[in-house]
Amino acid sequence: MHSTAPQLSPAEESASAPETLTGAQIVVRLLERQGITTLSGIPGGAILPFYDALSASTKIRHVLARHEQGAGFLAQGMARATGQPAVCLASSGPGATNLLTAIADAKLDSIPLVAITGQVPRSMIGTDAFQEVDTYGLTIPITKHNFLVNSAEELLEVIPRAFTLAASGRPGPVLVDIPKDVQAQAIEVSQWPAPGGRQDLPAPDMAAIEKAAAMINAAERPILYLGGGVVHSGAAAAAVALAEKASLPTTMTLMALGAMPVDHPLSIHMLGMHGPRYTNLLLEECDLLIAVGARFDDRATGKVSAFCPKAQIIHIDIDPSELDKIKNAHVGITGDVAEVLEKLSPLVEPHLRKRWLTHMGDLRSRFPLQRPNLEDPRSHYGLIQAVADCLDDSATIATDVGQHQMWVAQAYPLRRPRQWLTSGGLGTMGFGVPAALGAALAEPERTVVCFTGDGSILMNIQEMAAIRETGANLKIVLMNNDALGLVYQQQELFYGKRYFASKFSGQPDFLKIAEGFGLDTLNLDTVDDPRAALREAFARPGPCLIHAFIDMNEKVYPMVPPGAANTDMIGG
Amino acid sequence: MNAVSKNENAALAHPQRTVLELEVNNHAGVMSHVVGLFSRRAYNVEGILCLPVGDGRYSRIWLLVLEDRRLEQMIKQVEKLEDVRSVRRHGADHAVFERLEEFFR
């Protein structure tokens, strides 16, 4: 594994002429040395010394979010698109509490995020001072680690450490809370620490890898089960190569979509609650499940005792606490999945597995994913396909959370790791717009699309202002069904059609809202040729809101009822 | 959850006490990190002892917990904490809490 820290010349690492700098200036310098070029936040009283120092930086661009949660997701979008730790900023009190959702989201999806918050001066901590909140205490359960910094001197250790922790092992969010007086404290700095970066892990257990290889070689009906860890560790190509060598049907979690192109002959697409029927049926029959960087999430497994009931399990994960957490593994291997796959693949024998692959093909043709009206761009699946037809694999696809997210997961031809940005573990409505903006800023050469819904977009719609300000090449596709679609669907299917609090009335005119923010707009419902209109919209650089009404009675099918076995699917 | 073994069933019916010994960094907040892992899982900590060791840079935390099937996962989670340097598991017969009991009579 390689260090992800930017390479510094020896001169930069060694002692330099002593400078007297404030804590705030030290943080700015340390962020520059980390290679941070874009970050997002909102200033406020307790972080003003830092903002003052940041204003003097010629290397770092600050993107002003309009809500701290937006800043958090914007940074997440940068981190998800690039794999590198990204930074968000907030002031104390409400600034910090507004960040919490984005931090918790990063924790559940293992996204490297460094959140820096201002805190009231040390002398006022614990006095219920204005905009004081226990940011350290609040973030203990939702960060990988957190710091309350006590002196400017400590910053020299804490900031690089925060990046090392965020990027090493299983990635995750780290919070650094800096009291205002520490930001203002001036000290002499004569030596700069090396930037933080991903640290190497102990070598994986070779005996376990050999045992895993023997199990794969002996299996008759193996399935490869890829999770988000495959994307995080850059192991997608290695996973596809293993699948091809050993003829392994390969399923992906929501987080792993694109690790193997979803239209690869060995891809059996997404498993679980909204996976295709054939996928869950094939998993039911497998005799060996090879879980790679996946955590047996309940949305993937359904009722755990009924998940892959005939299978032995090989579980490879960077986080030892994931092994045996939900399902006991017959062979558990702790390690970076890229490194483990590199050592495992040579031990795996080429295998054609004709019978099993024939059966896979048979199930796939008998129980395929149903995508009705795929040819009609005015239908939900058709719209997703029509958008895909305007783009190539270089495009980045973000979503919000809800029906649209599942339809895009099912229907978009994702073919590249890090092409797909979605809130998996926490399932945060409001994720999409700011995360897509972050991705667009981190990789301006790509077109970024954010599929969203009318429920989700209202949860961070204020970031249209940041989109306008940056002019990012971001197309928002709003699938508006005037409802909280997945809630409406569950009330219909599982709550006796007692619809409550799930249908919107008094909906705003989203096109006018977008116009009000200064965005280009496209109303797909009123154009004669939606495909041509989409092509034109995607050909125009810069941000655009594309609006389409969707029938609220459309469902996400198939659906495994919550708590049921994956084979007990409804619909599809 | 996985199938529960016979031994684990017995443990659930008559919970055994386990003593955990943690070496941790000594700063404000470390205790919150440790007990937070237990409280968020509604896993009660029966007893806690903590004192600095050596030059005071580190502390030792003794935890008294009841064994159940989540204990292995708990220990793995504690081991992941950045401020925890090591975790050792002792049997219920460890003297540390037994000697302390006279202060609770």
pLDDT tens, position by position, B10-45: 545 567 899 999 999 999 999 999 999 999 999 999
Question: A3 falls in which pLDDT band (50, 70, 90)?
Answer: very low
Helix locations, chain B, DSSP H: 6-13, 30-39, 71-80, 95-100
CB distance A113 to A106 below 8 Å? yes
B14 vs A: CB within 8 A: no
Taking 60 as the threshold, does the pLDDT of residue A543 lie above it?
yes
Burial of A539 (0-12, 13-18, 19+ CB in 10 A): exposed
Mean pLDDT, all residues of chain A: 96
| CB < 8 Å to B29, chain A | 136-137, 140, 146, 148
Identify which of A279, A302, A276, A272 has the alpha carbon closest to the alpha carbon of residue A562.
A302
* A466: Cα separation from own chain's centroid: 20
Identify which of A350, A458, A363 has the alpha carbon closest to the alpha carbon of residue A401.
A458
Average of per-residue pLDDT across A421-427: 98
Q: Please name the amino acid found at residue A291.
A: A
Taking 60 as the threshold, does the pLDDT of residue A8 lie above it?
no
3-state secondary structure of B20: strand
Tokens read off for B101: 């009991």
Q: Give the pLDDT confidence of A215-274 residue by residue, as tens digits.
A: 999 999 999 999 999 999 999 999 999 999 999 999 999 999 999 999 999 999 999 999
What is the gyration radius of the CA atoms in chain A, in angstroms? 24
Q: Quote the CA–CA distance of A558 and A467 in Å, as a whole number.
A: 35
Q: Give the pLDDT confidence of A79-136 residue by residue, as tens digits.
A: 999 999 999 999 999 999 999 999 999 999 999 999 999 999 999 999 999 999 999 9
| CB < 8 Å to B40, chain A | 141
Which one of A140, A157, A301 would you mutate to disrupt binding with B, by most B Cβ within 10 Å of its Cβ?
A140
* A125: Cα separation from own chain's centroid: 34
**A73 Cα to chain B: minimum distance (Å):** 25
Question: B92 falls in which pLDDT band (50, 70, 90)?
Answer: confident
Identify which of A98, A111, A37 has the alpha carbon closest to the alpha carbon of residue A65.
A98
Tokens read off for A227: 């999770």
Identify which of A7, A59, A64, A73 has the alpha carbon closest to the alpha carbon of residue A40.
A64
Measured over the CA atoms of residue B12, residue B17, residue B23 and residue B25, the dihedral's sign is positive
User: Chain A neighbours among B 23-42 (CB < 8 Å)?
Assistant: 28-29, 32-33, 36, 40
Longest dimension (CA), chain A: 73
Determine, for residues A320 and B76 on separate chains, whether the beta-carbon distance falls below 8 Å: yes
Residue whose token pair is 């925890």:
B84
Residue whose token pair is 């804490």:
A158
CB distance A520 to A453 below 8 Å? no
| CB < 8 Å to A304, chain B | 1-2
Tokens read off for A94: 């409400």
| CB < 8 Å to A318, chain B | none
CB distance A548 to A376 below 8 Å? no
| CB < 8 Å to B41, chain A | none
CB distance A327 to B2 below 8 Å? yes
ipTM passes above 0.85: yes
Express the helix, strand and coil content of chain B in percent, nearest 5 each.
35, 30, 30
CB distance A205 to A333 below 8 Å? yes
Q: Which helix (H) or strand (E) holds A267?
A: strand A267-270
Residue from the list B3, B36, B79 with its beta carbon closest to the beta carbon of A140: B36
Position A64 scores a pLDDT of 98
How many C-beta atoms lie closer than 10 Å to residue A512's C-beta? 10
Average of per-residue pLDDT across A382-403: 98
Determine, for residues B36 and A304 on separate chains, whether the beta-carbon distance falls below 8 Å: no
Position B1 scores a pLDDT of 38
CA distances from A260 to A7, A230, A239, A362 (A): 31, 10, 8, 21
Q: Please name the amino acid found at residue A541.
A: P
Q: Quote the CA–CA distance of A388 and A374 in Å, as a whole number.
A: 12
Determine, for residues B79 and A141 on separate chains, whether the beta-carbon distance falls below 8 Å: no
Q: Quote the CA–CA distance of A412 and A267 in Å, as a whole number.
A: 14
User: Chain A neighbours among B 42-101 (CB < 8 Å)?
Assistant: 72-73, 76-77, 79-83
Residues whose CB is less than 8 angstroms from the CB of residue A286 and which lie 6 or more positions away in sequence, other chains included: A221, A222, A223, A308, A310, A311
Residue from the list A141, A145, A325 with its beta carbon closest to the beta carbon of B40: A141
Burial of A492 (0-12, 13-18, 19+ CB in 10 A): middle
Tokens read off for A186: 């001036």
**A96 Cα to chain B: minimum distance (Å):** 18
Residue from the list A140, A148, A328 with its beta carbon closest to the beta carbon of B33: A140
Taking 50 as the threshold, does the pLDDT of residue A1 lie above it?
no
The residues on A that touch B, with CB distances below 8 Å, are 136-137, 140-141, 144-146, 148, 165, 304-305, 319-321, 324-328
Crossing angle of helices A380-389 and A403-411, rounded to 10°: 50
- Kindly report the backbone phi and psi dihedral angles of residue A424, in degrees, each rounded to the nearest multiple of 5, phi listed first: -90, -65
Taking 50 as the threshold, does the pLDDT of residue A10 lie above it?
no
**A211 Cα to chain B: minimum distance (Å):** 23
Q: Quote the CA–CA distance of A176 and A166 in Å, as a whole number.
A: 12
Residue whose token pair is 């070496």:
B23
Q: Are strands A145-148 and A173-179 parallel, antiparallel or unpaired?
A: parallel
Position A554 scores a pLDDT of 97
Between chain A and chain B, the number of residue pairs with CB atoms below 8 A apart is: 37
DSSP readout, A335-359? S-HHHHHHHHGGGSPP---HHHHHH
CB distance A321 to B71 below 8 Å? no
